Chains A and B, each alone.
Chain A
Amino acid sequence: MFKVIGIICILIGCVGWGNMRIRQERERIRHLHTMRHILERIRTEIAYGKHTLPEICLMLTEINDICYRNCFQRISEASAANGSGLPELWKAEFQAFLKNQPLQEEERELFARLPDRLGFQEETGQAESIGRLEAFLAQKAGQAEEGCENKTKMIRSVSILTGLLLTIWLL
């Protein structure tokens, strides 16, 4: 009886680990899409509205993703409260937030260090520079989506197989 319960627990554990990895991969794709969407919004606000970074942050407090929305809310509040330098607030906020997200280092850095790229003296050039980052994230998201199905199958197979092997070994 205990052996059967043990086998079930091991199998559930391994499948659960597999599912967690799959969910992380999907979560990464979601983050990439959200970040791309935010960059797109920033690009259009710069190109067509010529808005400043604090104004854009204020507008982004209305985006759908609650995690990013909260970050922009905190940045806007801190900036409005004491007029602190927005690049520092942005970096600190997003470095802390993205650290715990299933993203690659270069993806995190690209987004967290975005204000460093806002030194252009003219809005078209500035928008184009952000457009390049947006294209990079779109490419990353595309690659991740393409590989996601195969990766999901592989992780699922490996997790079940690991569970079976562990069971056989422990028996």
Chain B
Amino acid sequence: MCEEEILRLFPEKIRGRWREVAGQAEKLQEIRLRAGRPLTILVDGKERFVDPGGRIVDRQEAAARQESAELEEILRHLCQYSIYAFADEIRQGFLTVQGGHRIGLAGQALLDGENRIVNLKYIRYLNIRIAHQVKGAADPLIPLLYERGRVVSTLLISPPGGGKTTMLRDIIRQISNGTAYGRGINVSVVDERSEIAGSFLGIAQNDVGIRTDVLDGCSKVEGMMRLIRAMSPQALAVDELGGIEDMQALRMANGCGCRLLATIHGGSLEEVLRKNFMRYAVEEGLFERYVVLDRAAGAWGIEGVYDREGKPCLR
């Protein structure tokens, strides 16, 4: 990722202030903008601040404060001056921009009669999560994801920011292109939040392999069945499983003979398997590999790989 891509997240008139931050593109993880609060960034796992001159500093007292009007201008810019096109994303509290960077939003929620969020107003908090494509990130894992030349269904586990999506993206790329352990296969991706492929105008901005089809912006449940019918994939990839509906869709996909590649939030295998909706996955042996990722001291790595019984394959 280059400096220019980070700068383009901001309106032209304030890009000067973000030039030094953009220079850290490779290590930059998050940019946090909160109205009236210091400009905060997360570089290589370490929290730092941006002063009024655009320099990166360690002391928060020296940091510049974010103005509300400027925050709104940034949001308009991120929405490509077409807020209406991102209404659903804003309602859900995040949007994904060109390059697959995810923008988390918070402000005042407007609720309907059933306490569901119908919109967000006074958006005063932005969390820009910088997407990184790390080609080769999955290299140590790849040998463990094949059995007799066939890809096995795999669940990647890590806390937020632990590198799940980055790892999943590289696994998709490698198994789609083919590796020393197996030939390339057709992979379909339901990219609900445009984070895996980072599609723009329907074209994947990230390299997800030559045999990969992407259904962008579609819910996992609907997207999985649609892709199975339409694209006849040999493997199906989804990001961030979060409920019983996702699990039921995965069961159906598994029943169709698809290999599954998925991620889930969690600190450990035990924690994930304790989740109520994961019961089916365990009972039916939906996943043949559980990969626990860990981010310690700014560098992420593989904490352990387990088989369907939870026995370590690699630790």
Contacts and interface: CB of A to CB of B under 8 A. Distances in A.
Interface of B: 7-8, 11-12, 76-77, 79-85, 87, 90, 119, 201
B90 A121 contact: yes
A122 B81 contact: no
Interface string A106-132: 000000000100111111011000000
Nearest to B85: A52
B80 A119 contact: no
A62 interface: no
A51 B85 contact: yes
A121 B87 contact: yes
Contacts of A125: 84
Interface string A79-113: 00011111110000000000000000000000000
A58 B200 CA distance: 13
Contacts of A120: 83-84
Given A55-B201, A121-B90, A121-B119, A85 B12 contact: yes
Contacts of A51: 82, 85
B12 A84 contact: yes
A139 B76 CA distance: 32
A86 B90 CA distance: 21
What does DSSP make chain A's interface, helix, strand, loop or mixed? helix
Interface residues of A, number: 24
A12 to B, nearest CB: 51
Nearest to A56: B82
Nearest to B201: A55
Contact of A53 (B11, B80, B119, B201): B80
Contacts of B12: 82-85, 88
Contacts of A122: 84, 87
Interface string A135-161: 000000000000000000000000000
A126 B84 contact: yes
Contacts of B79: 52
Contacts of B119: 121
A84 B77 CA distance: 9
- What are the 10 A-B residue pairs with the smallest beta carbon separation, nearest first? A83-B8, A52-B82, A126-B84, A52-B80, A123-B84, A52-B85, A53-B82, A120-B84, A122-B87, A50-B85
Nearest to B98: A83
A84 B84 CA distance: 20
Contacts of A85: 11-12, 77, 81
B229 to A, nearest CB: 24
Contact of A86 (B7, B81, B84, B87): B81
Given A53-B80, A54-B82, 16 more contacts: A51-B85, A52-B81, A52-B82, A54-B80, A55-B201, A82-B12, A83-B8, A84-B12, A85-B11, A87-B81, A118-B82, A118-B84, A119-B83, A120-B83, A121-B84, A122-B87
A46 interface: yes
A39 B74 CA distance: 26
Contact of A115 (B11, B81, B85): B81
Contact of B85 (A86, A119, A123): A123
B81, B82, B87: which has the most chain A beta carbons within 10 Å? B82
A125 B119 CA distance: 14
B97 to A, nearest CB: 10
A83 B81 CA distance: 12
Contacts of A126: 84
